[in-house]
Amino acid sequence: MDQTDLRAPTRTAAVRPVTPQQRTARAARNGGEPTLEFADRVPYDAYVHASTLHTLQQPLSTDPGEMSFLMVSQIMELYFGLTCHELRQAQRDLRADRVWEALAPLRRAALHLEGLNAAWRGLRWMTPADFNRFRNLLGEGSGFQSAMYRHLEFLLGLRDPALIRPFRRQEEVYDELRAALDVPSLWDDVIALLARHGHDLPADLLERDVTVEHLPHPSVEAAWVEIYDDGGPQNHLRLLGEALTEVAEQFGDWRWNHVKAVQRTMGAKVGSGGSAGLAWLQRSMARVVFPELWSARTAM
């Protein structure tokens, strides 16, 4: 029995499922007041692990502003993971031709990306002088090295195998990223779906090497023009296009907010991870998510 098995009974005992009837009876016994006594851990903490979360902030300086930088970074990591979770569910639905069902996780993903964008507001106070008080202590630490952000990029179709090299010494992380590169992106699955729905897409596009970044293709653009030309209520592909557009737009906003945050806090200085910093981020924005969804609008 491993440690997970040993911990499971305590966690199960702390979070006990209840029925609506049990909740009603508990409220009657409490006279409408919340329950204040528990035999084990507080059920909320057992489920959310809040007491664990609040031990994960370990600033490297005594500067009070560093906590904002550290916690906002951790919040963003959680949002990266949550968005990936939703996009993978959308992939499973699309691979099974469940277009209508895929809309819900895509809409949730767009809302999570909206929350991710809002997280930048917590760093608007930071000037170069504020950042410089603890920046040197970060060493070569950079958001560029976020493995979960790479997973998100790979899912969205932004693929550069070179960007997983920093993780070679972290074998489990590296293997997961390598595996993510070896399977189709969400956009690859959308293109395959369009072909299954009768749109004329060439075999070399459908059978391409998914480890490299997709390049815009006129046949995919033409398919979206045709899809959007049908405004009927049963055109689920058009609804899919709009849900994907919202995801792409929110992700683009996050990248732009990143650029603005870097401009605000460090100008055009060299990045902590060794890149050109601001210039590198600006160049990376030229890589468009779901490119034919945007270019098709010119032909509509």
Give tens-digit pLDDT for 141-168.
877 789 999 999 999 999 999 989 999 9
Helical H segments across 136-277, by residue range = 147-156, 171-181, 186-196, 203-206, 218-228, 236-266
The pTM (predicted TM-score) of the whole model is 0.90
Residue 280 above 90 pLDDT? no
Domain for residue 59, yes or no?
A: no
Neighbour count for residue 276 (Cβ, 10 Å): 13
Res 10: pLDDT: 45
**8 Å CB contact between 194 and 222:** no
**8 Å CB contact between 57 and 63:** no
**Burial grade of 70 (CB within 10 A; 0-12, 13-18, 19 or more):** middle
Res 116: pLDDT: 96
Domain for residue 38, yes or no?
A: yes
Count up the domains in the chain and report the number: 2
Res 14: pLDDT: 67
**8 Å CB contact between 93 and 243:** no
Pair (46, 134) in one structural domain: no
Domain for residue 29, yes or no?
A: yes
For residue 183, give both structure tokens: 């399977």
**8 Å CB contact between 120 and 52:** no
- CA dihedral sign, ordered 286, 256, 242, 119: positive
Pair (32, 76) in one structural domain: no
Neighbour count for residue 14 (Cβ, 10 Å): 17
**37 three-state secondary structure:** coil
Instruction: State the Cα angle at 177 between 1 and 149, rounded to 5°.
Output: 105
Give me the domain span that covers residue 266: 67-299
Q: What does residue 180 show for φ and ψ, rounded to 5 degrees?
A: -65, -30
Pair (29, 115) in one structural domain: no
Name the helix (H) or strand (E) containing 5: helix 3-14
Pair (169, 128) in one structural domain: yes
**8 Å CB contact between 152 and 289:** no
Phi/psi-derived region of residue 16, left when phi > 0, alpha when psi is between -120 and 50, beta in every other case? beta
Res 3: pLDDT: 39
Question: Model confidence at 13, in pLDDT bands (50, 70, 90)?
Answer: low
**8 Å CB contact between 248 and 185:** no
Mean pLDDT of the chain: 90
Residue 246 above 60 pLDDT? yes
**8 Å CB contact between 108 and 86:** yes
Asked whether residue 258 is marked as a ligand-binding residue, the answer is yes
Pair (16, 89) in one structural domain: no
Domain for residue 182, yes or no?
A: yes
Pair (36, 165) in one structural domain: no
Residue 9 above 80 pLDDT? no
Domain for residue 62, yes or no?
A: no
Pair (164, 287) in one structural domain: yes
Question: Model confidence at 81, in pLDDT bands (50, 70, 90)?
Answer: very high
**8 Å CB contact between 109 and 87:** yes
Distance CA 292, CA 300 (A): 12
Domain for residue 17, yes or no?
A: yes
Asked whether residue 165 is marked as a ligand-binding residue, the answer is no
